[in-house]
Amino acid sequence: MEPVPDATTRCKFRHLLEENNLGVALFDAVAVYLEENGMKVSKGTIVDATIINAPTATKNKSKTRDLDMHQTKQGKPWYFGMKAHIGVDSKTKLIHSVVATPANVHDSQVLGDLLHGEETRLWGDSAYAGQQSVLKDNDPKAKDYTQVKGSRHRKLTEQDKAKNRHKSKVRAKVEHVFHIMQRQYGFTKVRFKGPGKNANHLFAHCALINLMLSKKQLLRLSVA
């Protein structure tokens, strides 16, 4: 049995991945492999984002925070770090699109980058409401199933609330993906400084998540 690589070897390997942007290449290669084995992206996409926290302390050599990370407010708490945006297949829950931004970038600003262009249905929370033009630019036939958003001047009707609950049954699938990312892989905090390193780390995690989600199908194929 081969010994476990030491810390220096692992660090050099990580730098190799970062310098050659191999996190993206790995994510794309896994997507091709899964498609070749029958796991194709369907016509429905669920979009969502989660914050990956960064250290707020300045007890380091430069005495500063990471300048590429920013803070944002969700509800009452403030968060500091990056944001992982993903586009997920509504049937298989496989991640087909990934974008990494500072935490203060609004979810809706990267919607166009999370669509594969052949959607006929889009699900998302109320942060993506009012983005019909972006959706139509990607596919004129696509239908918008994002959550209806209320306001101070327009309260949600009972019909609006019922529609939102129905949409949530599909949209909730993306929470399983984030659960794997944060609980099984422990990706709740950024480990490095700089957007490139952390984006590479995110793409590599998403590739592994897709393999985990496809584990049963791949095992059935291996014994067939």
CATH of the domain at 82: 3.30.420
Is residue 110 included in any domain, yes or no?
Answer: yes
Is residue 21 included in any domain, yes or no?
Answer: no
In whole angstroms, give the CA distance from residue 139 to residue 45.
12
In whole angstroms, give the CA distance from residue 165 to residue 172.
10
- Structural domains counted in the chain: 1
Which residues share a beta bridge with 86? Answer: 48, 98
Is residue 172 included in any domain, yes or no?
Answer: yes
Query: 93 lies in which domain range?
Result: 38-223
Answer whether 60's CB lies under 8 Å from 77's CB: no
Which tens digits make up the pLDDT trace of 131-174? 988 988 888 888 999 999 887 788 899 999 999 999 999 999 99
The distance of Cα 35 from the centroid of its chain, to the nearest Å, equals 19
Q: What is the per-residue pLDDT for 1? A: 65
Identify the DSSP state of 37. T
Identify the DSSP state of 146. P
Q: What is the per-residue pLDDT for 205? A: 95
Sign of CA dihedral 6, 31, 216, 206: positive
Which tens digits make up the pLDDT trace of 82-108? 999 999 999 999 999 999 999 999 999
